[in-house]
Amino acid sequence: MSDYVRRFTLRQIIQHFCVMVLFILLALTGFPQKFSEGDWARWIIQTLGGIDQTRWLHRYSGILFAALVAVHIQSEIFRLVLRRASPAMVPTGKDFQDAVKMLRYYLGLSDEQARFGRYDYRQKFEYWGLVLGSVIMIATGFILYFPIAVTRFLPGELIPVAKIAHSNEGLLAFLVVITWHIFNAHLSPDSFPFDASIFTGKISREKMEKEHPLEYERMQELTRPAESSQDD
Ligand code: HEM
């Protein structure tokens, strides 16, 4: 029996890779505009070929990012409707109970840890934060991209509001990624120094059993009839 099991499909690996690259590009070309007084910001802008190139690079990356989010949302809806996917990312009552259970465990009030399925409550929280945050970034980004077209239909006050929302939500998203996401996915004691599963698609059997026991049991159930029919 292999020491590894499949956790992510090629489609998920590619989507994660694209969102990672585009997010880095957007941060690299967005923050030097926000903090343009800093020496580091000037250095990045000069290295990218000047402010015009930096702004265009940001906008092109933004268009690709918007396309990626649209493809992801559309394909997930189709897959759910066609029953090719289970709604594994949808929060349920169990997630709230798990969060309380884990809080009690971390505070030393209980010895019992929650048992997770395919995604735990932290992963679901982060996923939905990314989806909703992306919708805000895309909507405000396009308002800043086409301010004259937007103000033909909507009040002009929307432009400075969109700029503040885009700028601050971008900073919030960046801080969440470098603290919460990088810590949970790579730096926590269970994953340190690096969890490669989202790049290889595979996870060690031991880690899967420990971190997602309910999903592991479900996978065992699915493979059991095949194994037993081979034994016959
Ligand atoms: C998560 C991804 C993104 C991050 C972190 C980000 C970050 C930023 C930041 C920090 C600024 C500077 C705001 C300021 O001056 O205070 C900015 C400006 C801007 N962003 Fe984004 N952004 C993202 C996505 C997008 C998207 C999806 C679009 C859509 C095309 C977009 C279009 C723009 C535009 C048009 C500006 C104004 C600067 C210009 O005219 O080039 N951004 N962004």
pLDDT tens digits, one per residue of 35-63: 999 999 999 999 999 999 999 999 999 99
pLDDT for the residue 227: 52
**32: preceding bond cis by omega (within 30 degrees):** no
CATH number corresponding to 4-227: 1.20.950.20
Distance CA 124, CA 90 (A): 7
Query: Closest ligand 1 atom, CA of 134?
Result: 1
Sites in the chain below the pLDDT cut of 50 = 228-232
Q: Please identify, by atom number, the ligand 1 atom nearest to the C-alpha of residue 55.
A: 41
Cα separation, 137 vs 134, whole angstroms: 5
Q: How far is the CA of 43 from the centre of ligand 1 (A)?
A: 19
Q: Which of 210, 230, 6, 9 is nearest to 115 (CA)?
A: 210
Q: What residues does each domain of the chain span?
A: 4-227
- Report the predicted TM-score, pTM, of the whole model to 2 decimal places: 0.92
Regarding the beta carbon of 166 and ligand 1, being less than 6 Å apart is answered yes
Asked if residue 9 lies in contact with residue 201, where contact means CB atoms within 8 angstroms, the answer is yes
**Is residue 165 in contact with ligand 1, taking CB distance under 6 Å?**
no
Ligand 1 center–CA 141 separation, angstroms: 5
Q: Which phi and psi (to 5°) does residue 5 adopt?
A: -125, 160
* CA–CA dist 7, 190 (Å, integer): 17
Please tell me the predicted confidence (pLDDT) of residue 85: 87
